[in-house]
Amino acid sequence: RPTRSVQRRAWPKAPDHRVGLKAITSSVRINLQPALAGLKHGNRLEQILAAQECQRHGADEALVFDQKGFLAEAISSNLLLRIGGCWMTPSSPAAVTGVGLDWLLSESPLEIESSAIKLPQLAKADSILVINSISGIRPLGSLDRRELVIDEDCRGLQRHWNQNLIPLCDDC
């Protein structure tokens, strides 16, 4: 017999895009399960644990690594990082490639490469964006209390997203 699950929760509060989100590096590691890698599914216990850790630290978001030490994703978003002037997204097979990131990779005005990123490279990132098809593109203002840059590249990607994916409505 089929079972239907329904979840109801408050819509996420809108972050202040001028300041950016406060993020931490989670101690939770995402398991590399080849049968589930890259798929959206209901068994995301690691993300729940990372979200609880995030809440304990008073942060808005957490960046999560896989079991091999490669950056994978944020709790429920994909990532874009600028390291050494180059925009990149993590290539961990443990990450879910969301539809928002997929669209941006094909439609971005900036060149974005996929790259294996470990903690030392993450420490060199000067800008980090989280991408989610519901929340859009949101900049991180800080990661582990280190300030990050929210500049014209970040704002340009947000404008590009908004102009192309948020429908205009005259009577909404």
Residue 66: the pLDDT is: 94
Which residue type sits at 6?
V
| For residues 97-112, average pLDDT | 90
Residue predicted with more confidence, 45 or 13: 45
80 alpha carbon, distance to own chain's centre: 7
Residue 116: the pLDDT is: 96
- How far apart CA 75 and CA 59 sit, in angstroms, is 12
Q: What value does the mean pLDDT of the chain take? A: 86
Residue 54 structure tokens: 């995030």
Nearest to 112 by CA among 94, 139, 90: 90
Nearest to 81 by CA among 134, 149, 160: 149
Specify the pTM. 0.84
Which range is least confidently modeled, 38-42, 72-76, 123-127? Answer: 38-42
- How far apart CA 68 and CA 145 sit, in angstroms, is 25
